[in-house]
Amino acid sequence: MNSLSLEIAHALPETILAVGAILLVLIGAFRGKESDGPMTELAVALLGAALVAVILGSAREAGAVFNDSFIDDSFGDFMKGLALIGSIVTLLMSGDFLRRSGVDKFEFPILVVLATLGMLVLISANGLIALYLGLELMSLALYVVAALSRDDARASEAGLKYFVLGALSSGMLLYGASLLYGFAGTVSFGGIAAAIGGHPSTGVIFGLVFLFAGLAFKMSVVPFHMWTPDVYEGAPTPVTAFFASAPKMAAVAISTRVIMTAFPGAVSQWQQIIVFMALASMALGSFAAIGQTNIKRLMAYSSIGHMGFALVGLAAGTEAGVKGVALYMAIYLVMTLGTFAAILSMRVNGKAVEQISDLAGLSRTNAPMAFFLSMLMFSLAGVPPLAGFFAKFYVFMAAVDAQLYWLAVIGILTSAVAAFYYLRVVKIIYFDEPAPALDRPSGTQRAVLTLASLAMLLFWVYPAPLVEAATAAAHSLF
């Protein structure tokens, strides 16, 4: 196999999405209509083809191509699969909501495809330049998607906030990358690791801090979380579902790769940063959500808290920790998609509602939806034997094995606090006087909610495939 064929083989999912996005733009331009038409179906088929390419390519030997700037390994395949699943499911369950809201524009699925392409490039980045290219490709599409509903003042405000703060975070990341290049003399992660050794200079530490400031924004962890509640609440619900799922996979994946491959000799330096972000995110996500009445805003603080729990595994800096992070992100993705399927279903007489009080008495008006949504709330709270419990178990055990006992203890305490607002939703569903009955959900929304809930409920029965895949993904980084 010649060099070009080898490079295309390793980057086949990205090639499929790049060529497909161009074709979708041409189809949209020639159709000459603003409405979605067949675009969502075509975009789902395109993302599905990329997912198949990822699965088939997982049997291939790992390799670095494009002058070592792009790496294809088991960890990348695992996280790419999660990102693609998040994008596909978001598109599938968004169509009905967008049509009812009058914002079923053909640009939305194209922007989702472009953002997903950026995520895949970001996940496989093996150097600072590839990292920045992937990050910006993902971010630029997300900026537009956030303000998709141009006639809605809240959506426009959300898009503007996300753009301004995102531009600031990108500048900080780029400054950190330039510092690292200046002190290491190379942009590749392996080269940086070899150059700084076990004694990073002050300049390298500054570069590391700025680099993680940019990545922390994409993960929406403290102290770069400020955009999350406003954007989650203001953006159209399908956009919020997308923000809460696929981009998180890419941000956590590249953060893990950078730490493990570029800074293996600077554990004491980056561990302090990760521990701080984990502690602050767990605390803020647990306490700030208690008083929320809007369910999308509640999920925003929930996502901040869950990213903090995921970072507990990353703080361990071990193979077990990376395995815990990979498992946590997979389970978090399913819980989030299932919950947003329920939120997308919240309509009364055709009008979308977002207040938690609108779920009051749901058990008496729609018992199946009440049961499945309650299972997801229990799983988000980490109640055994649901999958959310095992997600936290793996990251906390990794922290204990790394002798970060106090971090695990604080994680358990904040998890107990967070359980209050998840269980409050269950209490409202089952014990409050019924609110006006919700409209019947679409078939896709019902299917996503049902499958996600059953996956969380029955995970303990047969966890081996996911655990083995996460183990292989973590092993490829070491």
Q: What is the mean pLDDT of residues 70-82?
A: 90
> Does any domain span residue 421?
yes
Coil, helix or strand at residue 19: helix
> Does any domain span residue 199?
no
**Cα gap 451→115, rounded to integer Å:** 25
For the stretch 368-412, pLDDT in tens is 999 999 999 999 998 888 999 999 999 999 999 988 899 999 999
> Does any domain span residue 166?
no
> Does any domain span residue 6?
no
Supply the pLDDT for residue 348.
84
Domain that holds residue 364: 266-478
Coil, helix or strand at residue 186: coil
pTM for this model (two decimals): 0.93
Supply the pLDDT for residue 254.
93
> Does any domain span residue 386?
yes
Count: domains in the chain: 1
342 to each of 32, 37, 99, 414, 478, how far by Cα in Å? 34, 25, 17, 25, 39
> Does any domain span residue 57?
no
Cα angle at 356 between 355 and 360, to 5 degrees?
A: 115
> Does any domain span residue 245?
no
Q: CB of 371 within 8 A of CB of 377?
A: no
Q: What is the mean pLDDT of residues 435-453?
A: 86
Q: Is the pLDDT of residue 186 over 90?
A: no
**Cα gap 371→294, rounded to integer Å:** 20
Of 58-72, 138-152, 153-167, 196-210, the least confident: 58-72
> Does any domain span residue 125?
no
